[in-house]
């Protein structure tokens, strides 16, 4: 009986996470903010790079969002270029 209740509770929680109503989303975002305040990211000395995606690239590759493999390749090329 205990497993049945635990499974039903888990299914209900997964359903609410999938549905993501406003109260659940608000709670999730507040918990995330709490974790960020508790364990803030340390600043890095790396500069910010702004990558402009031109119309030619969009015409050749297609509209955003691009596949993750393509974005990873783009990041590797940017890193290699310094």
Q: What is the Cα–Cα distance from 75 to 80, expressed in whole angstroms? A: 9
- Give start and end residues of each alpha helix (H) in the chain: 2-19, 22-38, 55-61, 68-81
Could you identify the residue written with the tokens 């497993």? 3
Residue 13 has pLDDT above 80, yes or no: yes
The pTM for the full model equals 0.42
In this predicted model, what pLDDT tens digit does every residue of 24-63 receive, in sequence order? Answer: 889 989 999 999 999 998 888 877 878 888 898 888 888 8
Q: Residue 73: which pLDDT band, with cuts at 50, 70 and 90?
A: very high
């Amino acid at each position: 009986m205990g497993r049945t209740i635990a499974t039903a509770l888990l299914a209900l929680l997964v359903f609410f996470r999938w549905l993501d109503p406003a109260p659940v989303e608000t709670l999730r975002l507040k918990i995330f903010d709490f974790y960020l305040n508790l364990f803030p990211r340390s600043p890095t000395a790396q500069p910010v790079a702004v990558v402009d995606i031109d119309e030619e690239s969009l015409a050749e590759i297609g509209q955003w969002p691009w596949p993750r493999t393509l974005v990873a390749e783009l990041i590797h090329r940017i890193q290699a270029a310094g």
